Amino acid sequence: MTREELFEMMNASPVMHLATVDQNGQPHVRGILMYKADTDGIIFHTGAMKELHQQLQANPKAEVCFNHKGVQIRVDGNFELVEDDALVEEIYKHPSRQFMRNWGSLEQIKTFLKVYRMKGGKAHAWTLADNFAPKEYINL
Buried-exposed string 77-112: b where 16+ CB fall within 10 A, e elsewhere: bebeebeeeebbeebbeeeebeebeeeeeeeebeee
Q: Round to whole Å and give the CA distance between 110 and 84.
A: 10
By DSSP bridging, strand 61-68 and strand 41-47 are: unpaired
Domains and CATH numbers, the chain: 3-79+115-128 (2.30.110.10)
Give the tens place of pLDDT for each residue, 66-80.
Answer: 999 999 999 999 999
Q: What pLDDT, in 10s, does the model give residues 81-108?
A: 999 999 999 999 999 999 999 999 999 9
42-65 per-position pLDDT tens digit: 999 999 999 999 999 999 999 999
pLDDT at 5: 97
Query: Quick one: residue 113, left, alpha or beta (phi over 0 = left, psi -120 to 50 = alpha)?
Result: beta
pLDDT reported for residue 135:
94
Distance of CA 19 to the CA centre of its chain: 10
Q: Residue 62: exposed, middle, or buried by beta-carbon count in 10 A (0-12, 13-18, 19+)?
A: buried
